[in-house]
């Protein structure tokens, strides 16, 4: 097991690159953003997580995942991330996010004739189910204030994706391997 370390007690201390997947529900589910941050789009399998919602955040373009027993959030599972890619994505996430394992009984949207990394968050077709072992899927949970409105991937894609991906490229160029900065509030 290749465990990622980002300091004792850091967010990545319990994550294994070979055994764990990351559930993404906001900007990280867009291949354009992943390409700018880590230089590629890893395996990206569409998925849903029940008991949670992607909440719009005050003054920000990206969402925060918050518990909501009546909700289901659409997103994707990222798998096959290297330790360095996990570290970049973790640095990208604000301090208000907490990396947590989630119990995951996912409905996966996948067309066996199409490479899953070509997923777009707005693709609605659900075709297969999969069960993930407890603790094998992690996600970033928001710990600060949210708005009552849900974040909409389609709205973000239409209005902000291009400029956001460009800002991600700029952020990535400033990434200092010694002192990893957090992404600016956009």
Beta-carbon neighbour count of residue 121 at 10 Å?
22
Structure letter (DSSP) for residue 44: E
Output the CA–CA distances (angstroms, integers) from residue 21 to 2, 7, 58, in the order listed. 13, 21, 28
Catalytic residue among 93, 154, 155, 159: 93
- 154 assigned to active site: no
Decide if 168 contacts 136 (C-beta within 8 A): no
What does the longest C-alpha to C-alpha distance in the chain come to? 43
Which residues are identified as catalytic?
A: 93
């Amino acid at each position: 097991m290749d465990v990622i370390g980002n300091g004792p007690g850091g967010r990545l201390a319990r994550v294994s690159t070979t055994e764990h997947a990351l559930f993404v529900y906001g900007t990280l589910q867009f291949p354009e953003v992943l390409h700018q941050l880590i230089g590629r789009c890893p395996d990206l399998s569409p998925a849903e997580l029940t008991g949670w919602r992607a909440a719009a955040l005050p003054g920000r373009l990206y969402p925060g995942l918050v518990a909501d027993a009546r909700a289901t959030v659409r997103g994707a599972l990222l798998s096959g991330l290297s330790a360095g890619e996990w570290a970049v994505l973790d640095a990208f996430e604000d301090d208000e996010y907490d990396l947590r394992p989630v119990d995951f009984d996912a409905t996966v949207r996948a067309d066996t004739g199409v490479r899953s990394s070509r997923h777009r968050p707005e693709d609605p077709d659900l075709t297969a189910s999969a069960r993930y072992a407890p603790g094998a899927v992690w996600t970033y949970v928001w710990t600060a204030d949210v708005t009552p409105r849900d974040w909409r991937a389609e709205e973000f894609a239409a209005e902000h994706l291009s400029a956001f991906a460009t800002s991600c490229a700029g952020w990535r160029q400033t990434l200092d391997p010694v002192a990893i900065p957090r992404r600016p509030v956009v």
